[in-house]
Chains A and B, each alone.
Chain A
Amino acid sequence: MAEFEPRENQITADTLVVGGGIAGMTTAIETAEVGKHVILLEKTPSLGGRVVASNQYFPKLCPPTCGMEINLKRIRINPRVRVLTLADVEKITGGPGEYDVQITLNPRYVNERCTACGECARVCEIERDNDFNYGLDKNKAIYLPHLMAYPFRYVIDPAFAGDARMKKCVEACAYDAIDLGMQAKTITAKVKAIVWATGWRPYDATKIDNLGFGKYDNVITNVMMERLAAENGPTQGKVVRPSDQKEIAKIGFVQCAGSRDENHLPYCSAVCCLASMKQATYVRERYPGAEIHMFYIDVRSPGRLEDFYVKQQGDAKFFFHRGKVAKITEVAGSKNLILEAENTLTGEITKMEVDMAVLAVGMVPNTADAPPPLETPLDDFGFIVPGSENGVIGAGTAIRPLDVSATVQDATGATLRALNLGNRR
């Protein structure tokens, strides 16, 4: 169950899980369902991480919110899970069996009296970039993060908590739920083990100069494509060009955009090939006649996921081109894009004009710049190296790029690793 602010200054549990995405939620729930106590910390205002921002999973093309609903139900009814949102880990001391963790609970500016009626947002005059939709649209400065948000309560963007215009929201709230003076609070957790599941963020595509993201309106990233295709996204599921909302006749998927590239991310993010092929089905569903072009180095669809690749190859207007896109330029006027792909062996360049390009950007571990505050070995890319006996236990994409199923599997395993480590003493 979710708590806004524990009444105690010191809380205890068997395991502390840091990160409330699919990995952390899984570890937390699995721990609680084995009868142990767990604290789940999430940095943002609600659980669900990257997966709730996805439209569908490959290869089943089913919505992530279906499994999320089950997981949220498991959390809601289990008294052994304590969920703390807007939480940051400041300091960790101790070792397996007895960690002391200092946690900052940042102000939500909305207290537990909030009923999520939404009256505050209706009167709110301030708009902000909606981070859930990767800035593709705006929402209010007081907002419900998304339809499945848990906790199901509003939150104020801290940038606007001091804004005088927020007073209007306070007045509109019939439940005294808005507290603009709310302060951060520090508490301590005493736990036996710590699982670090802080996940990933998309690689900053503006760093890949030659691909034009940020310069050309119709170059988007794979994570943005998920939002465009989502019913609860900025376009209510319409996949259209950002520059003019035009329908798509020809689209290019640019694989390894910054990945397998020593200037950006040298490793492979493991999911992008399948993600792009999945996104091709979004395009196909909406535009039966559209041409889909995917530029790749190697198509990586391990295990039975190969079936999904084979199925897409059966689409007569889905063209696979081996070659890495080296450059994207915009056509003046039409805002179409020219993709220039290079055959890595022959050096031969092929050019293709498309309406819109999707960059398959890779995963950057959040531990790369926010490592656990306890000696934990990281590799050159910032992923946690598994097997450390005294540090934290990494789970999910904090260890390596993984798809959702592998992430959940890893997080389930981390549950037992943590319990065993915590009880070893």
Chain B
Amino acid sequence: MDKKIGCYICKGCDIGKSLDVDKLIEAAKEKGVAICKAHDALCTPEGGDLIKSDIKNEGLNRIVVAACSNRVFPEMFEFGDDVMTDRANLREQVVWSHPANDEDTQLLGEDNIRMSIARVNNIEPPVPYVEETSKDILVVGGGMTGMTAAKAAAEAGYKVTLVEQEEQLGGWATRNKQVFPKRPPYQQLEDSGVGDLVKAVEGNSHITIHKNTRVAKTVGQPGKFKVSLTNGGSSEPLVFGSIILATGWKPYDPEKLGHLGYGKTPDVITNVQMEEMAAKGEIKRPSDGKPIDSIAFIQCAGSRDQEHLPYCSAVCCRVSLKQAMYVREQYPDAKVYIIYKDVRSPAQYEMFYQYAQTDDNLFLTKGEIAEVRTAGDAIEIDVEETLLGEDITVRADMLVLAAGMVPTTKVEDEEVPTSDAAEGETKPEEGKTEDGKKAAESSEKGARILNLTYRQGTDLPTLKYGYPDSHFICFPYETRRTAMYAAGAVRAPMDFDTGINDAYGAALKAIQAVEAVAKGAAVHPRAGDLSYPEFMMQKCTQCKRCTEECPFGALDEDDKGTPLPNPFRCRRCGVCLGACPERIISFKNYSVNMVSKMIKSIPMPDEFDEKPRILAFICENDAMPAVDMVGIKRMQYNAMIRIIPLRCLGSMNAVWVSDALASGYDGVLLIGCRKGDDYQCHFIKGSELAEYRMDNVREKLKQLVLEEERVEFHELAITDFEKIPKIFDDFLETIERVGPNPYKDM
């Protein structure tokens, strides 16, 4: 359909007072808009009515609102699916941050309108990618978390398949005598409720349960995961929309705790063994069945220990207090010693700790363990650095090591296939995969739970210590594998109650994912986005950059290396678009061509001394709001900068830099989020990729015989608005030193 553009210029908030509006209108008209009007305040109902009536009477289908930032009142400028709107920022980024009635401020305002017109001229309404999809949900792991997730999703009306590798549901909870209290007054131990939950899950007609079963292979994409289950034989793959991983934890290998006495005598056991003993009915000394007179617990056994598990397993302090209560209930005279580094009983669990301390036979000692040895039929523990300042020796009949939790996604080093397999060159034994897969950099090598056939690895990418947790504090369910959510102790060390809560959260996200996919919409963080990348495959050179760089593993590839897109895995960041040297990847409303046209839409002044031109590509989530805040705070910045916001700096295609320099811009700035271990990019590697592409850019600069200094990269947080004017000024200084772009006049 032909584009018919209406451009509306707001005169409010000092825009009309600071800029020559007639000249803005003239600039817009030169760009071929059908209508261009000014209004005193477009954000008022009258302003909205003006635009709506023009759309109706004049058949406008593209609107440029030249007013305030697109972060303000976007809902007022929504005119239906067929009308695409863009905002040219004249307020925060022009009149609030530059001198009024100044030639350069005026040119900046005109250019913002020109770029906005170029944008709407080169976008189309997205047509969602829709196929028939399944809304069924697969839950892997039948412990408290997995069962709760299954039940929660089933109650919401979804069909759930629950897979458990053991012959019974229930997981660790079935082996617990009791759990620590979660209800006021937070004193009495409680039943875990696992029995009722098993019954509820087994009796729910929406839940299909497969026991003694594992996932052999997961092929495909959200809405269409084809999952082969195995319980010895093979079966037809089932189709699911989304997946919840709730495979829980395994105990840290106690054989590694020899320094704490494990293995020296059967009377040194772990907290897991203690729980099992208590659940069976009676606590007695393992070696001879003798009743307990004294028992010691060593906290952080192999935890908070750089040689073993550097992290804290979060539950062990409370578990030991609980197990101390078991002992004291059975033996009214027994003494219990708990040796700890810090007692961690957060929130109202502090009341449980306080209650436990009311027992006069419970002795809590802060200290470091120097030695554990057997002495006759007893165990002696030397404790150093106690609070009393002296070293003590604790003598007990029996010792419990409060050992930590290891996620089931953690692959022990010795289990990892060595040599070429670790490099990802050989294919897994079970089943032939469709693609040449390679372990993702951040996932556990050798993980075999979901057995994904993704090019980037077989399972969920993990953070430190093998936990497939979210990297983001604000978004604990943000994941690099679309429509797969980890919940419970596999995601992070946690107690049953937290796991149950987590199950609800993961179930909600799994439901959201199947609903979004059915509509062809993106999930977080661009939730609802209907655009998706389209590939002009005839021109693909099989360079594999897109398949390697996609942060979400959305692209597999065939034997030749041609990308095989999986649109339902896509999160719409545009990293593939930035990666492609052949420029064959485009979204309907975001493309290499669109940005190129924006770059070229502005006139290039030839008087360099007074009017150099800098192009800044900036992240729209962090750097863009930060620039707005410069305006809101009425700080000033240089008027030579032209800004193009990107979905992610990782979507920056190196050709744009060439376009900019070939068009006469004197320099190019790239501003993205913080990278490194604590990266802030919600598309994972935006800044990293942009910096990596700087190599290409340098190559291009060399070809053009231009100085390297003409392109500069910066990391910027949303709160760094104070730094912006200086970044701009410093770069302009550099450019002044380097001199004008020689291509300016060509």
Contacts and interface: CB of A to CB of B under 8 A. Distances in A.
B467 interface: yes
Contacts of B313: 303
A260 B350 contact: yes
Interface string B465-478: 10101101111110
A285 interface: no
A306 B157 CA distance: 40
Interface in A124-162: 147-148, 152
Interface stretch (B50-58, B439-447, B509-517): B509-517
Given A1-B75, A76-B74, A303 B314 contact: yes
Contacts of B629: 147, 232
Nearest to A395: B501
Given A147-B629, A400-B347, A420 B12 contact: no
Contact of B632 (A147, A307, A346, A409): A147
Contact of A65 (B155, B524, B719): B719
A302 B498 CA distance: 13
Contacts of B156: 416, 419-420, 423
A304 interface: yes
A65 B721 CA distance: 12
A417 B74 contact: no
A70 B469 CA distance: 20
A118 B93 CA distance: 16
Interface in A66-123: 66-74, 76-79, 113, 115-117
Contact of A63 (B13, B347, B505, B719): B719
Given A412-B504, A413-B501, A413-B508, A66 B350 contact: no
B473 A77 contact: no
B286 interface: no
B720 interface: yes
B234 interface: no
Question: Of residues B43, B157, B347, B528, which shows the largest number of chain A Cβ atoms within 10 Å of its Cβ?
Answer: B347
Contacts of A67: 472-475
Contacts of B674: 62
A145 to B, nearest CB: 12
B505 A413 contact: yes
Question: Of residues A66, A79, A147, which shows the largest number of chain B Cβ atoms within 10 Å of its Cβ?
Answer: A66
Nearest to B504: A413
Interface in B220-261: none
Contact of A416 (B349, B508, B720): B508
Contacts of B185: 379-380
Contacts of A412: 476-477, 504-505, 508-509
Interface stretch (A30-38, A191-199, A208-216, A219-227): A30-38
A59 B677 CA distance: 11
A301 B317 CA distance: 13
A405 interface: yes
B1 interface: no
Given A76-B74, A270-B346, A416-B508, A322 B366 contact: yes
A303 B498 CA distance: 13
Contacts of B538: none
Contact of A66 (B14, B184, B464, B621): B621
Interface stretch (A178-186, A261-269, A331-339): A261-269
B588 interface: no
B208 interface: no
B41 A76 contact: no
Contact of A268 (B347, B387, B633): B347
Interface string A19-45: 000100000001001110000000000
B312 interface: yes
A307 B311 contact: yes
Contacts of B41: 113, 115, 174-175
Contacts of B74: 76-77
Contacts of A77: 74-75, 528
Interface stretch (B106-114, B164-172, B337-345, B725-733): B337-345
A66 B186 CA distance: 37
Contacts of A236: 722
B474 A303 contact: no
A401 interface: yes
Question: Of residues A298, A322, A343, A404, which shows the largest number of chain B Cβ atoms within 10 Å of its Cβ?
Answer: A298
Interface residues of B, number: 92
Contacts of A73: 71, 621
Nearest to A302: B314
A62 B471 CA distance: 12
A231 interface: yes
B346 A63 contact: no
A362 B470 CA distance: 27
Contact of B718 (A69, A417, A423): A69
A307 B310 contact: yes
A425 interface: no
B295 to A, nearest CB: 22
B348 A408 contact: no
Contacts of A270: 346-347
Nearest to B75: A1
Contacts of B348: 267, 379, 381, 383, 400
B557 interface: no
Contact of B346 (A62, A302, A387): A302
B387 A232 contact: no
Interface residues of A, number: 90
Question: Of residues B314, B515, B633, B718, which shows the largest number of chain A Cβ atoms within 10 Å of its Cβ?
Answer: B718
Nearest to A149: B632
Question: Of residues B313, B342, B508, B629, which shows the largest number of chain A Cβ atoms within 10 Å of its Cβ?
Answer: B508
Nearest to A412: B505
Contact of A117 (B13, B71, B342, B476): B13
B570 interface: no
Contacts of A292: none
Contact of B476 (A63, A303, A409, A419): A409
Contacts of A383: 348
B680 A66 contact: yes
Contact of A346 (B306, B388, B621): B388
Contacts of A416: 152, 156, 504-505, 507-508, 511
B206 interface: no
Nearest to A55: B719
B422 to A, nearest CB: 25
Question: Of residues A33, A79, A345, A383, which shows the largest number of chain B Cβ atoms within 10 Å of its Cβ?
Answer: A33
A420 B148 CA distance: 13
B474 A302 contact: no
A372 B88 CA distance: 45
Contacts of B512: 30, 33-34
A11 interface: no
Contact of B344 (A74, A300, A343): A300
Contact of A22 (B183, B342, B474): B474
A74 B474 contact: no
A232 B719 contact: yes
Interface in B693-732: 717-722
A26 to B, nearest CB: 8
A152 B70 CA distance: 12
Question: Of residues B73, B156, B467, which shows the largest number of chain A Cβ atoms within 10 Å of its Cβ?
Answer: B73
B31 interface: no
Contacts of A409: 476-477, 501-502, 505
A290 interface: no
16 contacts: A34-B512, A34-B515, A60-B678, A72-B71, A76-B71, A116-B72, A117-B13, A260-B350, A267-B347, A303-B313, A304-B469, A306-B304, A346-B388, A402-B347, A406-B476, A416-B504
Given A346-B388, A412-B477, 7 more contacts: A33-B528, A67-B472, A72-B71, A269-B347, A302-B346, A304-B469, A343-B387
Interface of A: 1, 22, 30, 33-35, 55, 57, 59-74, 76-79, 113, 115-117, 147-148, 152, 174-175, 230-232, 236-237, 260, 266-270, 298-307, 310, 322, 343-346, 379-381, 383, 385-387, 400-402, 404-406, 408-410, 412-417, 419-420, 423-424
